[in-house]
Structure 1
Amino acid sequence: MKNKFLKLGLALIAVMIFSLSNAQQTTGDVGATEKVGKSSALNGTIRVIDNKGTKKYLQVKNGLTLLTDATPDGGIVSTWQLGGTLTDATNIATGANEFKITLDTGGTFVLDGVLQETGVAATAGTLDTSGYTILVRDEATGETRKILATDLVQAGQLTATATADGTAPTLADVSIPAVYQKVWVYRNGAKLLANVDYTVVAGAVTLVPNATAPNDWAIYADDVFEVQWIN
């Protein structure tokens, strides 16, 4: 009788040792405790069961990464985190909301939904959906902003008429740039030569009549001068 109990006890101890040795995997691919082939093919999965006990797998893909810690306190912990390979085209409809990433420097990278800096959206507080918008980067803060295409290049125009022979009309506007390549001046529809027939400073154009050929010309009463510029 004692021999029978001894044999039975040894058998139970052997079964316990075998079970403990296979209770937890602490090295290698943790996914091997489920189905290695399925887990590898799906770029990592977590097995769950529904309320009827059916086995199912939660798949990780399209910009997400699955990290599995096999040895935390309390058992295996799997974490899904942002970061990975974007395998499918993805659209985020922001509506009137912003989707942005705040940088360590304090700047903000905005993907979409930010109000325009100028134009209808800035005054009304709503998104302007007309025309085209352009993404620009604020070098001081690293922030990406969205502006209207019409706000990127602005243009101006003015006309003035000479009231008497030899009297130049005033050709001034605060938005006239001090750059010849951005300012054009016309006398009665004929273009004058930049930096020869006129000079420019910020906010004004000065006419320069000349008596020396071949650039000789004079101002007469009723001459119409037109200035066009871009900023």
Structure 2
Amino acid sequence: MKTITNKFKIALVAVGLLTIGTVSAQRTTGADFTKQANTVLGAAAGSVKVVDNKGTIKYLQSNNGVTMFTDTAPDGGVVTTWQLGGTLTDNTYIDASGAEFGITGISAIDPTVDAAAAISDIAATTYGATGFTLMVRDEVTGEIKKLLATDLVSGIRTEYIQVGNAAADVAITVTGLPLLTVGSTFAKLFVYRNGVKLRTISDFVATADTVTIQFDAADLPMYAGDIIEIQYIK
């Protein structure tokens, strides 16, 4: 019975080790790393040959998201620099248990810019110390940027009451309304006259901070007391 119990314990340990290996697939030992070719001046990657204080020959090289470059014009000696940035070759995990992990200095996206252009703009917007931001990726440059959650899910609502019967187009100020694009971001704008939805372009046009009702005495008159409700979803 004692032998069976010991075997059972060994089996449990083996299962535990397999489970750990499955959860963290990144390499934590150097046993399976292949030595790279010796680096040369002006080259990226490769390996750097060093000798320790006992005369043992060793090699330093970069891998998995770390790049290395050896100076072409050394100042007083050959300078090899390691820096973050490169191709991940293994699943990589960062254990932040018991500590905070953050990244600062990420460029902000200006929510007032046309959505299509905002993704490729580095905005001057500086976010405060409150609230939450969402991380997004610029598909043009690959740069990681941030967008305030409130800018993504919030919106604008403006209500305008017509004073007197109109005889021409009626321009309504909508503070914060960005420049919209027909066929894409215009779909986020809704304009109602006395509860009835108006049609984009044919009934109204929009520019930055302004919605203009296209007055038509027969098809779209504007009478005193008419209520125009404007909704824009970011």
Structure with greater proportional strand content? 1
Q: Scaled by the length of structure 2, what TM-score is found?
A: 0.46
- Bigger RCO (CA 8 Å, 6+ sep): 2
